[in-house]
Amino acid sequence: MSQEDITFQKLLKNVKLYNPNADTKLLKKAYEFASIAHHGQKRRTGDPFIFHILEVVRILIHWEMDTTTLTAALLHDTIEDGAAKREDIKEEFGEEVLEIVEGVTKVSKVHLKGSTDEIFIETLRKMILVMAKDLRVVFVKLADRIHNMRTLDVMPQDKQLEKSRESLEIYALLAERLGVREAKAILENLAFPYIYPDEYARVVKSTKKYFENADKHLAKFQSTLRRELKKAKINGEIVGRKKNYYSLWKKLQRPNIDWDLEKVHDLLALRIITAEVTECYQALGIVHKLWKPVPHLGVSDFIAQPKPNGYQSIHTKVFAGGGIMEVQIRTRAMHEQAEHGVAAHWHYAESKSKDVKEKDFKKGFSVDNKLNWVQELVKWQKEMIDSKEFLDSVKFDAFQHRNFVFSPKGDVYDLPRSATPVDFAYQVHTDLGNYIIGAKVNGKMVPLDSKLVSGDIVEIVKSRHPRKPSQDWLKFVVTTQAKNGISKSLRKNR
């Protein structure tokens, strides 16, 4: 077996750990397909191309994604960079996988070129349109981007800058809005030294003294805590971390901190992940017995009172090893939610049905969850529009004056404000305009001149045979497609 084959076998084992019913036959088939499609290809790093594919899949496995996503990830570069054809993928792996693969390709073609707000918004908008069909496209793209950023040092400088800016401004933002905080943090950190080399050097230099023995300290705290938790029969996983440079840099710029590292109390942190909520509070007691809580900074109980974004965890700041350390305590479910966001929902849905077959997972994803994704996306867009912070940082007019409406199948259409179901019909297909009898919005019949708003799910009630459009429609439609379509039809019918 080659090195790549061994890596793949290991990855398959990891999939089995969280999804015992995963269709490993399908994954193997996709792996073999990709190996052939990328045969002989090398990355700029000198590694065989398939290395990149496996690293992308590894990240998605860490996010515990479903089999369809993993299959699509294995195939994500086979058309664009490899020797495969879309027909082959469709035939061998089906429409759903093909759609994700093509979505990833489309997103990859959207580049942030230029630095005006308009370009930024337009880039984001294009990406959202592609993603709206299937949010799993974003996860594959995020994993792809993370691995590309990890190997960015081999690229020419202009590419490094372009990719880093995209990662920081677009992809980290997408990750954040989807709640994949882990991906956001990874991307920001990878992009930071390329975009702000001087600032990066400054942060590294000023934290040197604090981080020098950090690993040693963290290891010691971890083992002490592990011992005490064991005594109390609490099954907790403990992870230590140093604050990452990018988020630290952001924090150091706050006026109340102003580059004073003594005022940053979470340079070092331990995270305890338990199975049950009660264990969180027991663990808190043990932590405070081991290390004195810092007066005034105190304990924040976001389990009892979650943050507005739903974040749940207990935070406490304690004196440890001559400094201050933060301890975060949460359950596994809270942790998944906090780090992997929307992905966690899907895994949760999948794990709830542990004893159903993989086939049913797929069905669950394509039927039930499709609308969930749509709702998730709509919620996200609304948040974006409502977010004062966001509005302050970019001009969001472009979004505010658009309506993203959906077909019952979850396809997204970008319409201007004041668009009506008739505009929608002509946007979907000119021909559909000639069959309109009525329209349902969010499942209810509505007048044809109703104004659509972002997030509406629009269904056109069709006649059996083509009909003449009404002259009156011209009074309320706003899109050129609809105006032209109606006029053309009226002329023909005259």
Mind telling me the catalytic residues? 80-81
Stretch that binds Mn ion, among 75-83, 320-328, 352-360, 401-409 (CB under 5 A): 75-83
Minimal distance, residue 150 CB to Mn ion, in Å? 12
Q: How far apart are CA 366 and CA 199, in angstroms?
A: 45
Q: Which is nearer to Mn ion, 144 or 376 (CB)?
A: 144
For 243-348, strand residue ranges (E) read: 268-274, 299-301, 314-320, 323-331
Q: Between β-strands 323-331 and 268-274, what pairing exists: parallel, antiparallel or unpaired? A: parallel
Cα torsion for 44, 50, 51, 55, to the nearest 10°? 120
Stretch that binds Mn ion, among 74-82, 126-134, 338-346, 371-379 (CB under 5 A): 74-82
Tokens 């939610």 identify what position? 337
Binding flag, residue 102, Mn ion (CB under 5 A): no
The answer for residues whose C-beta is within 8 angstroms of residue 232's C-beta and 6 or more apart is 282, 286
Which letter does DSSP use for residue 388 in this model? H
Q: How far apart are CA 69 and CA 200, in angstroms?
A: 35
Q: Which is nearer to Mn ion, 151 or 300 (CB)?
A: 151
Exposed / middle / buried, residue 34 (Cβ in 10 Å: 0-12, 13-18, 19+):
buried
Q: Which is nearer to Mn ion, 53 or 329 (CB)?
A: 53
Q: For residue 156, is it left (φ>0), alpha (ψ between -120 and 50) or beta?
A: beta
What type of residue is 231? Answer: K
For residue 319 the two structure tokens come to 């004196």
Greatest Cα pair distance in the chain? 89
Binding flag, residue 336, Mn ion (CB under 5 A): no
Neighbouring-strand partners of residue 272? 238, 329
Minimal distance, residue 82 CB to Mn ion, in Å? 10
CA 24 to chain centre: 24
Q: Which residue is nearest to Mn ion (CB)?
A: 144
Neighbouring-strand partners of residue 302? none
Residues 203-262 close enough to bind Mn ion by CB under 5 A: none
Q: How many CA atoms lie within 13 A of 465 on its CB side?
A: 1
Residues 122-151 close enough to bind Mn ion by CB under 5 A: 144
Applying CB under 5 A, the site for Mn ion has a residue count of: 2
CB atoms within 10 A of CB 345: 17
Binding flag, residue 55, Mn ion (CB under 5 A): no
Q: Which is nearer to Mn ion, 57 or 269 (CB)?
A: 57
Please give the span between the terminal C-alpha atoms of the chain, in angstroms, as a whole number.
72
Q: Between β-strands 323-331 and 402-406, what pairing exists: parallel, antiparallel or unpaired? A: unpaired
Residue 66, SS3 per DSSP: coil
Minimal distance, residue 340 CB to Mn ion, in Å? 21
Q: Which is nearer to Mn ion, 80 or 411 (CB)?
A: 80
Minimal distance, residue 186 CB to Mn ion, in Å? 16
For residue 243 the two structure tokens come to 């604050």
CA 201 to chain centre: 29
Q: Between β-strands 458-462 and 412-416, what pairing exists: parallel, antiparallel or unpaired? A: unpaired
Binding flag, residue 77, Mn ion (CB under 5 A): yes
Minimal distance, residue 163 CB to Mn ion, in Å? 12
Minimal distance, residue 107 CB to Mn ion, in Å? 11
Length of the chain: 494
Q: How far apart are CA 190 and CA 245, in angstroms?
A: 10
Q: How far apart are CA 338 and CA 310, in angstroms?
A: 9
Minimal distance, residue 74 CB to Mn ion, in Å? 11
Binding flag, residue 182, Mn ion (CB under 5 A): no
Q: Which is nearer to Mn ion, 68 or 479 (CB)?
A: 68
Minimal distance, residue 369 CB to Mn ion, in Å? 25
Which letter does DSSP use for residue 258 in this model? T
Binding flag, residue 358, Mn ion (CB under 5 A): no
Q: Which is nearer to Mn ion, 144 or 456 (CB)?
A: 144
Minimal distance, residue 140 CB to Mn ion, in Å? 9
Q: How far apart are CA 263 and CA 252, in angstroms?
A: 9
Minimal distance, residue 106 CB to Mn ion, in Å? 13
Contact 207, 169 (CB under 8 A): no
**Interaction site with Mn ion (CB under 5 A):** 77, 144
